[in-house]
Amino acid sequence: MTNPLLDDWTTPFGLAPFDAIGDEDFAPALDAALAEARAEVAMIAENPEPPDFSNTIAALEASGRTLDRVLSVFFTVAGADSNPRRQELQRAFSPKLAAYSSELHGNKALFARIAAVWEARETLGLTAEEARLLMLTHRAFRRAGAALTGAEEARMRAIMARLAELGTAFTQNLLADEAGWHMALTEADLEGLPGFVVDAARAAGRERGLEGPAITLSRSLIVPFLQFSPRRDLRRRAYEAWAARGAMGGATDNRAIATEILALRAERAALLGYESFAAYKLETEMAGKPEAVRDLLMAVWEPARARAEADAETLTAMLREDGINDDLAPWDWRYYAERRRQAEHDLDEAQIKPYLSLDAMIAAAFDCANRLFGLEFTPLDVALYHPDCRAWEVTREGRHVAVFIGDYFARGSKRSGAWCSAMRGQAKWPRVQAPVVINVCNFAKGDPALLSHDDARTLFHEFGHALHHMLSDVTYESLAGTNVARDFVELPSQLFEHWLDVPEVLEKHARHVTTGEAMPRALLDRLLGAANFDMGFQTVEYVASALVDLAFHEGAPPEDAMARQAAVLREIGMPPAIAMRHATPHFAHVFSGDGYSSGYYSYMWSEVMDADAFASFTEAGGPFDAARARALERHILSRGGTKEAAALYRAFRGRLPGVEALLRGRGLAA
């Protein structure tokens, strides 16, 4: 018996043979791949030839390919279609992978060779991309503790192993809370809910094996329930469960885990000579220092809070008109904001959704990619990991560019949120390979599936990340696609969101799912006119999360993460009727791994650029200006991490932007 994860894949485009892979294949494949990777690293470290770029840096780039392949499949299914066996494997794999990473970065002979090449860099005649790969490799080893010795080195290994365990536990606890809670509804409880919410609730009930409808903690279901349900008691019950994810007590509680993670990160930074984990983390980002992040966030916080407080007064008056003599609460905000939106903009989401079917919005994203970059999408009939998934071949002028996979529907086995990943990145060395890119979302399943405007924006956002992968044109995979500074990675995704609201795009694709008629112009105008509606709320809930993240990592670690969260919210004057978008126990961006730790601000840092970047299109020939599209691909989307992010943006725009475009775009400018 051979292991399909280790065999040569003869499938179309070298896709993973999902129909041949079983959960029993992952553990032996990982062990074999780790052994192979260790042997490859040993050959590089023990090479008797003098170190040079080819036999050290490039050789390291070429190593670990089997390991990458096994992990790309495993983490795809573990995140998007989990089960108890996969969760068990995830817990078992975390310490193994942490140990391998520690061994790799603690290999003194290997680091000596890397350092020797680094010292000789000026004499090696390297290309710009080779020099960049050398710098990033040397920096990554240094920042991972390669120069540590003795007790400090041993402690760093222990810290990294423990962080891997804690990140996995945090993720699985959150998934368990999300999958384990539901609120069964009676037929009477459905009163006042639009048809699409009723349909989604019935589908959720069927998925849970119930006889009737239910509300789950899927964002695509609970948010519209909070928007439309006139039952304040049910809204409160649903909201409190949603807000309590990761803090429900018992074995799945994440509060102590978060506190321990913060302590270990601070110790890790200190071992490496940094004054805080934020200082360590931001060294490689565009922002550079915590002070720059705080300056941006506070420049936005003050006008956003002022707008939110003014809106709260209006919503409180509506609450009083309903005869409720109580303070406006977080479970009230979305309900009264939706009523206000309908009154002020004559805009009912139930009116809009039939024009925003999932298939229509996928077609809209594909059409924009075609008009901007010449990409074409052809459906593929291939085996994937779940029946809900679908795939397309991406071509340009008849040439294969990528495979794109979409997994759009919420289910109990999928973690919350939306994300994009490359199961295989683009590269030209040591072999030419085209990317395999996947978008994962959590939209409510229906027949047909209908999206809210916010859902459609999420689809465009994740597809913007996919374009960053698809259009990559670099030599080395570790520099390809989204392998860029964390506060630059959201630029392509947030920029692509703008095309959703281009009137000609909606006029073409926003067609009624039953009649096929275009969205009436008056409805379209009202939809676009309400683009900044409730922006105070949206900005406050986001910036509060980013400020808490920064405070967690900027100074000494808190003895109690929840107490520190509460203190930060008091300090900034958090409006009482608005909660953080991601409270600490379910702040997966920050605690499932350290990708966005000290980096949740990056969405807003990127928004400063995306507002300015889209303005460059409108200032030129319009949203589909060919010259601007070529510049975007040439200087940003195709370049990956081959240059510093600021240099890439300057090449595209001629300068760096200020915060003014962001404030104007959000309607928060004075």
- 3-class secondary structure for 376-398? EEEEECCCCCCCCCEEEEEEECC
Q: Produce one character per residue of 96-123: b if its CB has 16 or more CB atoms within 10 Å, e if not.
A: ebbebebebbbbeebbebbbebbeeeee
DSSP single-letter state for residue 357: B
The catalytically annotated residue of 178, 338, 393, 462 is 462
Residue 462 catalytic? yes
Contact status, residue 635 vs residue 327, Cβ threshold 8 Å: no
How many residues does the structure list for the chain? 670
Contact status, residue 239 vs residue 331, Cβ threshold 8 Å: yes
Distance CA 313, CA 309 (A): 7
CA atoms 435, 441, 446, 448: torsion sign? negative
Place of tokens 């920064």: 550
Beta partners for 400?
A: 395
Distance CA 415, CA 192 (A): 29
Q: Which two three-digit tokens encode residue 423?
A: 């199961």
> Residue 352 region, left (φ>0) first, then alpha (ψ -120 to 50), else beta?
alpha
- 3-class secondary structure for 580-621? CCCCHHHCHHHHCCCCCCCCCCHHHHHHHHHHHHHHHHHHCC
Rounded CA Rg of the chain: 25
Name the CA dihedral angle for 622, 627, 630, 634, rounded to a multiple of 10 degrees. Answer: -120
In Å, how far are 311, 426, 578 from 630, measured between CA atoms? 42, 19, 42
Contact status, residue 189 vs residue 231, Cβ threshold 8 Å: yes
Q: Which two three-digit tokens encode residue 155?
A: 């402690």
Contact status, residue 428 vs residue 472, Cβ threshold 8 Å: no
Distance CA 187, CA 198 (A): 10
Neighbouring CB atoms inside 10 A of 525's CB total 13
Residue 162 contacts by C-beta under 8 Å, 6 or more apart in sequence? 260, 264
Distance CA 318, CA 335 (A): 10
Query: Residue 448, preceding bond cis, omega within 30 degrees?
Result: yes
Distance CA 535, CA 532 (A): 5
- In a 3-state reduction of DSSP, which class is residue 146? coil
Place of tokens 């080779």: 130
Q: Residue 110: how many CA atoms within 13 Å on its side-chain side? A: 25
In Å, how far are 1, 557, 588 from 271, measured between CA atoms? 47, 15, 25
Catalytic residues: 462
